[in-house]
Amino acid sequence: MAKQQRGDSREPRRERSDDGEELDERVIDITRVAKVVKGGRRFAFRTVVIVGDNKGRVGIGIGKSRGVPEAIRKGSEGARKRMKKVTLSGSTIPHEVTAKHGGSIVMLKPASPGTGVIAGGSVRAVLEAVGVKDILSKSQGSSNMLNVAMATMKALQSLMSGDQLAEMRGKPANEMVPFWVTREKSTAPPRDTTETATHA
């Protein structure tokens, strides 16, 4: 099957689902594919679409059709049906995680508030769609957009909450708290508990 990739500069768009929920939709890849049949080649388009609610749910869909708009519609519908819940910790992820899909390897690492999304391509699209605002990432191996997106999705699905991670490692839950959370608590000014006298 011959393939010819084409760049896609579509901006993220927000659409409402059937139940009124506002979703973040991103087309990360549009590829022309050719199927050899009796009598010649049959050309079509394959799209990869990311859909998320920016609140911890995200899905990846693949659409194929003779026309680009129809391929995007199919990919969007598939992504909405496959949306999964992801464990987040505020604006970042609870712990470091690595996942592989095909020849692509993606590493995600939590970051302190204000860091931003340090990622590119399909990794950034998946992370922003799910609602992550501060994270460090690294992609190795194949740069295929679909494989990188699927590896990112696998990494997010393997995340555990702080309590689950503490139970698995046999440590107190407070030891699983990120260092910047502990630092914020230690530097926070003490609360004034003095009661003000009220005059009758």
State the DSSP H helix or E strand holding residue 121, giving kind and residue range, or none if neither: helix 121-130
Q: Are strands 40-52 and 57-65 parallel, antiparallel or unpaired?
A: antiparallel
Pairwise CA distance, residues 118 & 102, whole Å: 23
* Burial state string for 158-167 with b = 16 or more CB within 10 A and e = fewer than 16: ebeebeebbe
Distance CA 102, CA 90 (A): 30
pLDDT digit of tens for each residue in the chain (200 aa)? 444 444 444 556 666 655 557 899 999 999 999 989 888 899 999 999 999 999 999 999 999 999 999 999 999 999 999 999 998 888 899 889 999 999 999 999 999 889 999 998 899 999 999 999 999 999 999 999 999 999 999 999 998 876 766 676 666 666 666 655 555 555 555 555 555 444 54
pTM comes to 0.77
Distances (CA, A) of 41 to 18, 38, 129, 196: 38, 8, 36, 84
Strand partners, 65: 45
Residues near 16 by Cβ (< 8 Å), separated by ≥ 6? 22, 23
* CA–CA separation, 150 and 16 (whole Å): 24
